[in-house]
Each structure stands twice: as structure tokens, then as C-alpha cells.
């Protein structure tokens, strides 16, 4: 593990970059301009995308499970999401800056997007992108469509039922695949990340994690925690970072970064994010 200190948008980040394949044009955390969508050297191909498709040890959900993923859960979480719009706004700002989304065309997918607040914030900031909010719970579709209609972006968004571990998208389809606060629920983190890798087009990027956006100002994080609008169950971000690193190694991905912002206040844990390029 190497630690890099880096400044982006005024906030100091501690980046933990797993020491896998760093010699192959992997993004240098100190470089002035971040790689953009579709740029950078390609990692060696070690398996075909279809070989990554199936891990038979994981039970796949091929159609909606209306008994376990119902309306009450979707309504409840929608209220949670709507109580803290600043998280999705700040994450969208970060992603638009990082991946230069404001003018370029592309297809973006959020895996486990819930009511779709992140996609809605992104759609407002990326006029050439088509965004898909996907979730295992189909009851999010209604509020997502209503919100998209209200914001005047329905024609640039869609909702798709999707289990992270068996995504209903063709291989090499998306330019950007995101996921926030959902990977901890997937039946297999490894299979979910493999599926995202498969669905990404060569050169496309993924950004997967949980917690607060890496550049969110600490006073905003503290305010959310004080009001108990975020925080969630305890978990070990370092252990998750190690798992992300191991998955990158198994996929022979050389362009990746594991981001863990270290706050001044130890109570304000920012979470962990994996960013990689196919
Ligand atoms: C805590 S919510 C996060 C929602 C949203 N990403 C956000 O940040 O507000 C977790 C979401 O993951 C979804 N989810 C759980 N298991 C999933 C799976 N196997 N595949 C796709 N989504 C899943 C849940 O239905 C829920 O919407």
C-alpha cells in the first residue's frame, strides 16, 4: 500500500492506491490532470468479458423479487435520500469534474441507485449523457420517473431493474458505471465488480463506494452526522479497500485508485471508493 497526499478542489485527500500494476500507466495521484473518460493506456486483457459473466457460486436473481423488495422499503429509503440532498449534489459535482461530464456524450449507469437522486443530480450537469438508475427494488421506478419529469430530464434517464451480480446490460455498453452505498448489500462484491467491468466499454470508468463524496467539506459532513441524516452501520473501510484491491488484481486492472479521505475529525468517516478503468 502506498499513501499519496493530493489536493483537489481545495480539499486534501489521502489516497490509498493498492500496489497492483502501478507500473502500467496507472493514474498517478500527484498528476495535474486526471484521466478523462476513454483516455489512458488499456490494461492487458486476461479473460473475455463473457468469462467474467458467471460465477456459479453466487445465486442470481433474474427477475424482481416483489416479496423481499417491496414498496414500503422503497418509500422509507426515498425519505432518507430526500432528507440529505447535499450528499448527491456534492458527489455529482465531484464526478462531473473528475470525468469531464459536462459536455461529452455517453451512457452512465448507477447500480443500486435507489430513488435515483445521484442520477438526477448528474443529469442536470451532463447534457449529452443518458443516465440509467438501476436497482433490485422496482418500487423506486415511480418516484424516480416523477422526479425526472419534475426536473425536465425524463428523456435523458431511465429506470431498469437490475441485480448487481447479474446485470441486464450487454457487455461493453456503458461509459461510466457508478454505485454509492449499495455494494454492501450485493450477494458477492467480487461478482458485482466483475459485472461492472463486463458492462463497461474498454476505456470506460467505474466509481463504486459508500459514504460521503471524497471532496465533501467537513462541516457539511459534520452537520449531516449531527442531525443523524447519515452514518449508517459500522464497517471496516480498510478491509473493504483490501477487498477492492484484491478484485482489481484478479481482473488484472492496472488503472485504479482506492480513495479514503481522512478527516480531521475521526468521527467523520468518509467511507471508501474504488475508481477503475476497463
Ligand atoms: C442504502 S441504499 C443506497 C441507494 C442510493 N445508491 C443512495 O446512495 O442513496 C442501497 C440500495 O441498494 C439496493 N440493492 C440491494 N441489493 C442489491 C443488488 N443485489 N443489486 C442491486 N441493487 C441492490 C437496494 O434496493 C437499495 O436501493
Is 137 touching ligand 1 by the criterion CB < 6 Å?
yes
Between residues 29 and 89, the one the model is more confident about: 89
Mean pLDDT of 256-270: 86
Is 136 touching ligand 1 by the criterion CB < 6 Å?
yes
Residue 261 lies in a domain: no
What whole-number percentage of the chain has pLDDT above 70? Answer: 79
pLDDT at residue 136 greater than cutoff 90:
yes
Residue 73 lies in a domain: yes
Helices (H), 114-163: 117-125, 140-150
Residue 159 grid cell: 429506470
How close is the Cα of 17 to the center of ligand 1, in Å? Answer: 26
What whole-number percentage of the chain has pLDDT above 90? Answer: 71
Q: Mean pLDDT for the chain?
A: 84
d(CA 40, CA 263): 30
Running DSSP on this structure, what letter comes out for residue 144? Answer: H
Residue 275 grid cell: 475508481
Q: What is the pLDDT of residue 174?
A: 98
Q: Ligand 1 test: best mutation among 114, 118, 179, most atoms within 8 Å of CB? A: 114
Residue 127 lies in a domain: yes
How close is the Cα of 134 to the center of ligand 1, in Å? Answer: 9
pLDDT at residue 184 greater than cutoff 90:
yes
DSSP structure string for 197-218 = HHHEEEEEEEEEEEES-TT--H
> What burial letters (b/e) apply to 126-152, b meaning 16+ CB within 10 Å?
beebbbbbbbbbbbbbebbbebbeeee
Q: What is the pLDDT of residue 61?
A: 81
Q: Which residue's C-alpha comes closest to atom 22 of ligand 1?
A: 112
For residue 232, the ligand 1 atom closest to its alpha carbon is: 1
Query: What total number of domains does the chain contain?
Result: 1
Residue 136 lies in a domain: yes
Q: What is the pLDDT of residue 42?
A: 46
Q: Which tens digits make up the pLDDT trace of 197-241?
A: 999 999 999 999 999 999 999 999 999 999 889 877 788 999 999
pLDDT at residue 195 greater than cutoff 80:
yes
Q: What is the pLDDT of residue 238?
A: 94
d(CA 195, CA 52): 7
Q: Which band of pLDDT confidence, cut at 50, 70 and 90, is reported for residue 19?
A: very low
pLDDT at residue 32 greater than cutoff 90:
no
Residue 155 lies in a domain: yes
Q: Which residue from 29, 71, 60 is spatially nearest to 163, judged by alpha carbons? A: 60
Residue 260 lies in a domain: no
d(CA 219, CA 241): 25
Q: Given 3-state DSSP classes, what are the helix, strand and coil percentages for the chain, each rounded to the nearest 5?
A: 35, 25, 45
How close is the Cα of 101 to the center of ligand 1, in Å? Answer: 24
Which residue in the block uniquely carries the three cell numbers 485504479? 256
pLDDT at residue 18 greater than cutoff 60:
no
Q: Which residue's C-alpha comes closest to atom 3 of ligand 1?
A: 181
Domain that holds residue 138: 50-205
Residue 243 lies in a domain: no
Residue 62 lies in a domain: yes
d(CA 96, CA 123): 10
State the CATH number of the domain containing residue 148: 3.40.50.150
DSSP strand pairing (2-8 vs 271-277): unpaired
pLDDT at residue 69 greater than cutoff 60:
yes
Q: Ligand 1 test: best mutation among 117, 136, 139, most atoms within 8 Å of CB? A: 136
DSSP strand pairing (174-180 vs 256-259): unpaired
Amino acid at each position: 500500500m502506498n499513501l499519496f497526499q493530493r489536493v483537489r478542489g481545495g480539499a486534501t485527500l489521502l489516497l490509498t492506491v493498492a500496489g497492483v500494476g502501478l507500473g502500467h500507466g496507472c493514474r498517478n495521484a500527484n498528476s495535474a490532470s486526471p484521466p478523462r473518460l476513454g483516455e489512458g493506456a488499456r490494461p492487458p486483457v486476461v479473460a473475455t468479458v463473457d468469462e467474467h459473466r458467471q460465477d456459479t457460486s453466487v445465486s442470481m436473481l433474474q427477475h424482481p423479487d416483489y416479496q423481499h423488495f417491496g414498496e414500503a422499503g422503497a418509500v422509507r429509503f426515498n425519505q432518507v435520500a430526500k432528507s440529505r440532498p447535499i450528499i448527491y449534489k456534492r458527489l455529482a459535482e465531484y464526478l462531473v469534474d473528475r470525468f469531464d461530464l459536462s459536455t461529452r456524450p455517453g451512457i452512465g449507469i448507477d447500480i443500486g441507485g435507489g430513488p435515483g437522486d445521484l442520477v438526477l443530480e448528474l443529469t442536470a450537469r451532463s447534457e449529452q449523457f443518458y443516465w440509467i438508475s438501476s436497482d433490485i427494488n422496482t418500487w423506486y421506478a415511480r418516484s424516480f420517473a416523477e422526479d425526472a419529469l419534475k426536473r425536465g430530464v425524463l428523456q435523458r434517464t431511465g429506470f431498469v431493474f437490475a441485480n448487481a451480480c447479474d446485470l441486464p446490460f450487454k457487455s461493453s455498453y456503458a461509459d461510466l458505471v457508478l454505485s454509492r452505498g449499495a455494494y454492501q448489500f450485493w450477494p458477492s462484491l467480487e461478482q458485482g465488480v466483475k459485472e461492472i467491468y463486463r458492462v463497461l466499454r474498454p476505456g470506460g470508468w467505474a466509481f463504486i463506494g459508500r459514504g460521503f463524496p471524497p471532496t465533501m467539506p467537513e462541516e457539511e459532513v459534520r452537520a449531516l452526522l449531527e442531525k443523524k441524516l447519515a452514518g449508517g452501520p459500522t464497517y471496516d473501510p480498510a478491509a473493504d479497500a483490501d477487498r477492492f484491491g484484491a478484485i482489481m488484481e484478479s481482473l488484472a486492472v492496472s488503472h485504479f485508485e482506492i480513495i479514503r479521505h481522512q478527516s480531521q475529525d475521526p468521527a467523520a468517516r468518509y467511507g471508501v471508493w474504488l475508481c477503475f478503468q476497463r
